[in-house]
Amino acid sequence: MPLATAHVATDRPARYVKQLISHMGHKATAELTGAGRGTITFRHGTCSLTSTPQELVLIAAAADPGSLTGVQDVVTRHLLRFATQEELHIGWTGPTAGDALEIVAPAIDDYLLAHCTPPDPLLTELAVTTRQATGRAAGMQVSPDEGALLEMLVRLSGARTAIEIGVFTGYSALCIARALPADGRLLACDVSSQWTDMARPFWECAGVDDRIDLRIGPALRTLRALPEGPAFDFAFIDADKANYPAYYEEIVPRLNPGGLLVLDNVFLGGRVLDPAFQEDDHQAMRRMNNAVAHDDRMDCVMLPVRDGVTLARRR
Ligand SMILES: C[S@@+](CC[C@H](N)C(=O)[O-])C[C@H]1O[C@@H](n2cnc3c(N)ncnc32)[C@H](O)[C@@H]1O
């Protein structure tokens, strides 16, 4: 279904929502769906309206491009008419995100993959075995360049103690564990023994099995059972997205000063920046990204690596 979005800068977004809903109610089905939010359903399409502190976000949807233009036109005309005290700029664009968003151009992606240290035969075998055994779920595994990044970060930070949330078949855990010193420890948390059982032989083969303490169970329960003080030099979160804010809040106080937290999938395929996506995962990731950026306990940088990787260092 064709979609178009407009972000309209204004100090009075909620007022425009109310005006549009009450006026359009004479010509279409229009309703307020919450504070500062509403939906207008026309014969050939819909427009959802959302207020944020500084803008009005409009998302138009219709069955075909012609009808979409019709929805955009009627909403734009009315909004401009209501804006008697300011000049509004209403520029519609296609969806900013969704599955269509290309974070890194494919040619650059090929180039950078060809210019990273390639995965060794053990990591390659783990990737192939995972694909054969888990099919589409194998897409959850970190990519070779992200694995190499994790390994490099652990080595550079000199970490001795690490924690991982989201093990799957053990690729990222292997990258982290082998970058730790021989007496280092990785606490690896996952709910699935079916997937993590596949990891063990690869960890053994790499000689890092004795560094990894695998805990099966909901990670939040595992985290909350840990002592509360700082204990970890390195943490990696790559599990269920709706729990990211809770994982973050449990892990930060348990990081040593200078400890590094790596958060995976912070773009959620670009959906974090498209208000059309409002599921629990999207809202949780936005909440966490905002919290990290304004957390005075941490310094952070967000990188366009794969699906977005945030590095956050405890001050
Ligand atoms: C994206 S995969 C992790 C991929 C892994 N880092 C790798 O490199 O292969 C997400 C993992 O999170 C686990 N998971 C999902 N919900 C969880 C929860 N509540 N607690 C712990 N693990 C969970 C899943 O079982 C899955 O193995």
- For residue 20, the SS3 value is helix
Enter the DSSP assignment of 142: P
Strand 37-41 versus strand 45-51 pairing type: antiparallel
- pLDDT for 108 equals 87
100 within a domain of the structure (yes/no): no
Identify the residues whose C-beta falls under 6 Å from ligand 1.
140-142, 166-169, 171-172, 189-192, 195, 218-219, 238-240, 243
Three-class SS state of 304: coil
Q: Kindly indicate the confidence band of residue 133, based on its pLDDT and cuts at 50, 70 and 90.
A: very high
Find the mean pLDDT for residues 219-246: 97
In this predicted structure, the answer to whether residue 4 has a pLDDT above a threshold of 50 is yes
What radius of gyration do the chain's Cα atoms show?
23
> What is the 99 CA–ligand 1 centroid distance (Å)?
21
pLDDT (tens digit per residue) in 60-90: 878 788 888 999 999 999 999 999 989 999 9
Residue 250 forms part of a structural domain: yes
Q: Measuring from atom 1 of ligand 1, which residue has the nearest CA?
A: 140
Helix ranges, 83-225 (H):
106-114, 121-134, 144-157, 171-179, 193-196, 199-206, 219-224
By the 8 A CB rule, do 203 and 212 touch? yes
What CA–CA distance (Å, rounded) separates 32 from 19? 11
Q: Of 3, 7, 18, which is closest to residue 52 (Cα–Cα)?
A: 7
**Based on the domain organization, do 216 and 274 belong to the same domain?**
yes
| 139 shares its domain with 226 | yes
Mean pLDDT for the stretch of residues 117-141: 93
Which pLDDT score is estimated for 7?
86
Q: Which of 238, 266, 281 to mutate to test the pocket of ligand 1 (most atoms within 8 A of CB)?
A: 238
3 state DSSP class of 38 = strand
215 and 273 together in one domain:
yes
The CATH number assigned to the domain holding 39 equals 3.30.310.50
**Residue 183 CA, ligand 1 centroid: distance in Å:** 25
* pLDDT score of 1: 59
Same domain, 119 and 78: no
Q: What is the percent of the chain with per-residue pLDDT over 70, rounded to a whole number?
A: 97
pLDDT tens for residues 38-68?
Answer: 889 998 888 889 888 889 988 887 878 888 8
* Nearest atom (ligand 1) to Cα of 147: 8
- For residue 50, being part of any structural domain is answered with yes
Predicted pLDDT at 249: 98
Q: pLDDT class for 97, splitting at 50, 70, 90?
A: very low
Q: Identify the band that residue 194 occupies on the pLDDT scale cut at 50, 70 and 90.
A: very high
Residue 29: inside a domain: yes
Same domain (yes/no): 238, 140: yes
Shared-domain flag, residues 202 and 223: yes
For range 186-209, the mean pLDDT = 97
Does one domain contain both 44 and 128?
no
Same domain assignment for residues 55 and 120:
no
pLDDT tens per residue across span 261-306: 999 999 998 888 777 788 899 999 999 999 999 999 999 999 999 9
Which pLDDT does position 215 carry in this prediction?
98
In a shared domain, residues 28 and 82: yes
Which residue's alpha carbon is nearest to atom 14 within ligand 1?
A: 239
pLDDT at position 95 is 58
User: Which residues have C-beta within 8 Å of that of residue 306, sequence separation ≥ 6?
Assistant: 103, 142, 143, 145, 146, 264
Q: Which of 94, 125, 145 is the last residue of a domain?
A: 94
Q: Is 139 exposed, middle or buried (0-12, 13-18, 19+ CB in 10 A)?
A: exposed
Same domain flag for 56 and 139: no
For residue 44, give the amino acid letter.
H
Which pLDDT score, from 0 to 100, does residue 242 have? 96
CATH number at residue 233: 3.40.50.150
* CA-proximal residue: ligand 1, atom 22 (nearest): 190
**Dist. CA 85 → ligand 1 center (Å):** 52
CA distances, 144 to each of 126, 253, 259 (Å):
11, 30, 24
* DSSP class of 170: S
Question: Looking at 61, 94, 127, which one is the last position of a domain?
Answer: 94
171 CA to centre of own chain? 20
* Structural domain span for residue 59: 3-94
- Give residue 14 CA to ligand 1 midpoint distance, Å: 39
Q: Which of 73, 94, 115 is the last residue of a domain?
A: 94
**Does residue 101 belong to any structural domain of this protein?**
no
User: Total structural domains in the chain?
Assistant: 2
What average pLDDT does the structure give for the chain? 92
Which one has a higher pLDDT value, 44 or 176?
Answer: 176
Q: What is the pLDDT of residues 11-26, one digit of tens each?
A: 999 999 999 999 998 8
- The CA-CA-CA angle for residues 161, 197, 245, to 5°, reads 50
Whether residue 302 is contained in a domain is answered as yes
In a domain, 99, yes or no: no
CB 314 within 8 Å of CB 297: yes
Residue 84 and residue 110 in one domain: no
